[in-house]
Every structure is written in structure tokens, then in C-alpha cells.
Amino acid sequence: MDTEGKVLLITLEGIDGSGKSTLHLALKVLLADLNPVFTREPGATWVGESVRRAIAEQIDPVTEATLFVADHAAHLAKIIRPALADGKLVISDRYSDSRYAYQAVTLKGVIQKPEEWLRAMHNGWSIIPDKTFLCVLPIDEALARLKPTNEREHFEKREILEKVQDNYLKFARAEPSRFVIVDAMKEKEEIAQFVADAIRQILQSSRSRRRR
């Protein structure tokens, strides 16, 4: 399929253990003919190393949140904007909704109205995705899929993941035309095929819109 002239940013979101990284990998195979740019947050540039360090040291929630935003800025500058300028399809494993969902939880009680603060930090320079696939599953199942408790990141706890998933679902209700809910309890092959087909369909309809 020819993607020329289309500018499309697709993001994959969901709590830890929701299978979105597995989905990202599967899409590399299923959508190889479209030659997309596959990328991720955090860690698409060297800024991600400081994010990983801040997470591991649990340094401070504001430091951590601002480093995630710095990582996003570098990601946009170095990878996403150049790819979109080239007319490429971009598929990112996590993006700004991760901040709005996770840091709204970690900054609660630290900053007033953390979600508004986080959204304001992105205003005016970030790019809103064209489509966001949100992998949703019961928290028990997500926890069962994660590493042993002593090897988990500080986000990977029931009380945090429950709130993070509630935030994601709230965003999906607020923006139903951008979000597509993916049932993460389905077989991984079925999920990947569903998302790959949906992306092809979005590309087709954006092509016919452009011709109108």
C-alpha cells in the first residue's frame, strides 16, 4: 500500500502488562509493507536513560514527570517530526497519554490538578496522535503477567495501575473518535490482526478524504 502524502501518527497505550509492547512487535511484521517508523516512549533518544534512572531511583515525582516530558520533546524533535515530514506512518509504543494517565497518579497531592498541569506542559508544541489504540484488561490479569514483585518498577502496583487504567478509560470516553479500545484478553495474534487491519483502514480513509 502506498502511504505517500499521508501524515499519520498512531500510538499504543495501556497499563503495564497489557501487552502493548508485544502488539508493537507484531505490527512490525504485519505492517512491514507500509514501512512505518516504529518508536517508543520513554527511550527513543538518550534522554530516556535519565528517565530510566529517575524511575529506578524513585528520585521525586516532579523530577520524574518533567524528565518524561523532556524525553517526549527529544522524541518529537529527533524522530517523530522528521518522520512525519517525510510522509511516514509513525507507530509509537506509549506517548503523551502515558503521562496524563500515570503522572496524574504519581503527582496527586504533590501538584494541584496534576492532569491539567501535565496537559499544559504539552500545549503548543506537542502533536496529538491521529489514533490511539488502548489495550484494556482486568488488573489481576495485568499483574499476573508482570515480573516478580521485587523486580517491578514503582508504577507496577495494583493501587497505581487501577487508577492509571481508570484515567485511560476516562480519556477514551472524552475522545471517542481518537481512541480505539482493544480487548487485551484476546489472543495476541487476534489483537495484532485487528489493530493492523484498523490501521490500514484509517490510511485508506485518510487517502479518500484527501482526494475529496
The contact pattern for ligand TYD, residues 166-195, with x = CB under 6 A and - = no contact, is ------------------------------
Chain Cα centroid distance, residue 179 = 11
By CB under 6 A, tell whether 155 contacts ligand TYD. Answer: yes
Q: Is residue 44 within 8 Å of 34, Cβ to Cβ?
A: no
Sequence-separated (6 or more) residues with CB below 8 Å from residue 8: 89, 90, 130, 131, 202, 203, 206
By CB under 6 A, tell whether 42 contacts ligand TYD. Answer: yes
By CB under 6 A, tell whether 68 contacts ligand TYD. Answer: yes
Shortest Cβ 89–ligand TYD spacing (Å): 20
Q: By three-state DSSP, how is residue 111 classified?
A: strand
Q: By three-state DSSP, how is residue 48 classified?
A: helix
Choose the binding region for ligand TYD from 22-30, 94-102, 129-137, 180-188 (rule: CB under 6 A): 94-102
The contact pattern for ligand TYD, residues 97-136, with x = CB under 6 A and - = no contact, is -xx--xx---------------------------------
Of 6 and 129, the one with the shorter C-beta distance to ligand TYD is 129
Among 6, 75, 88, 94, binds ligand TYD (CB under 6 A): 94
Number of residues that bind ligand TYD (CB under 6 A): 12
Helix, strand, coil % over all residues of the chain, rounded to 5 = 55, 15, 30
What is the DSSP code (8-state) at residue 108?
A: B
Distance CA 196, CA 31 (A): 7
| Residues at the contact surface with ligand TYD, assessed by CB under 6 A | 16, 21, 41-42, 68, 94, 98-99, 102-103, 153, 155
